[in-house]
Amino acid sequence: MSNTTKFYIDGAWVEPIAGTPFDVINPANEEVAGTISLGSAADVDRAVKAARAAFGSWSTSSKAERLELLASIIAAYERRFDELAAVITAEMGSPLWFAKDVQTNTTLDHFKEARRVLKDYDFGHMLGDTTHIVREPIGVVGMITPWNWPVNQIAAKFAAALAAGCTAVVKPSEVAPLSGIVLAEILHEAGVPKGVFNLVNGDGPTVGEAISAHPDIDMVSFTGSTRAGVLVAKSAAETVKRVHQELGGKSANIILPGADLAKAVPAGVLRCFTNTGQSCQAPTRMLVHRDQLGEVVEIARRTAEAVVVGDPLAEGTRLGPLVSKAQFDRVQHLIGVGIAEGATLVIGGQGRPADLNRGYYVRPTIFSDVRPDMTIAQQEIFGPVLSILSYKDEDDAIEIANGTLYGLSGYVWAGSLEHARAIGLRMRAGRIYLNGAPHGKLQDVEAPFGGYKQSGNGREAGIYGLEDFLEIKAILGYEVA
């Protein structure tokens, strides 16, 4: 990977017009993992011009051409699979097994799923005898992606946009941009036409703002915090472009009386801690009946006690470090707020694990006796911090579950699937997982992903993800013989 300080624009690696060197820090050892360039509005403009020039031909490409290109991307990706996983571990601290089995694997699945959906998708149909409804690519798409699933989120957007016939200008997070550079190399090797995919590294206030405000970008697809999402939407409003957003979450995990606590509680704790808690749909609020609170807390404590935190390259490590010092400081602060507001610290707390004095490692932390109005029950922490809240009955549980600004995901454990379904239907969230529905199945990249309320708008994955990159045109007087 020799292109870290360059940008990929119009099918070639080019020097920035006005780049500033920026070190990417390996969070496991606080050493430099690579150096990139932070770009400027001028770099974005050059990328947008390339994407606009390519849109005319790519938007009219045949389904067969797009299917062939997606197959080529899949083959090129598979050849560099292990390298990509290692880069993800170096840039954001994901344990290597997780980078391979989940991060890198799910990214590949997005390209496979886009190809599967495209194969059978009908871009036009008749409405009666005289009106033809056509779905057309929306145009040039600006994609602003996060550091927690760095290459997965690029693929979730770009695979669907490519299948739809769009072109793209991508800004990965400057905190974890190296896997995006590898992906650009993969796309080049696969033969993506010049200008269809363009990558400009940079920060949000400069490159992100230039993308969202650019008058020749037709749509912005953003994944990140709700705070940043609001800024993107405001900037995009001047040009009335479509804005697709996947934002924050504070997902509730309702465990009902009758559920198998020995199964439900450990599963909930470990799902909360997945990716070191740096997942927007993590079940960070565990809701349990007040009569079962003591038993649940003890099971949760034992589960967290067994979690291995350490070197992401070491076998047996479940939690690596947080991605950056800024994230480490934020999580430490919010743990302190939880203690100050009176929640009971079950395990963990502030500071690094005792045997780790370097790297952005945190102690897996569980709070009990958490009230719904506490900061740790309302704000997204983005670390391995679980809040356990108690409820008196099902109506109370639903009220607590829906009582945040967010609505990305929800989880239900019940003694019967029928009971879990009934509760899930009452939760205001874009995805509901029932009785431990496994993560990483095909359905994860086939089912729509997105949120209610301040968790965003629009959907990614499957047919719904493809259609988010399409416009609808009605042609009246289009008679058929």
Q: Beta strands 431-434 and 409-413: pairing type?
A: parallel
Q: Report pLDDT for 481.
A: 64
The model scores a pTM over 0.75: yes
For residue range 349-389, what is the model confidence (pLDDT) as tens digits?
A: 999 999 999 999 999 999 999 999 999 999 999 999 999 99
- Domains detected in the chain: 7-247+457-476 (3.40.605.10), 252-441 (3.40.309.10)
d(CA 41, CA 169): 12
Q: Beta strands 431-434 and 385-391: pairing type?
A: unpaired
For residue range 143-194, what is the model confidence (pLDDT) as tens digits?
A: 999 999 999 999 999 999 999 999 999 999 999 999 999 999 999 999 999 9
Give percent of the chain above pLDDT 70: 98
Distance between terminal CA atoms of the chain? 57
Q: Supply the residues annotated as catalytic.
A: 246, 280
Q: Report pLDDT for 48.
A: 98
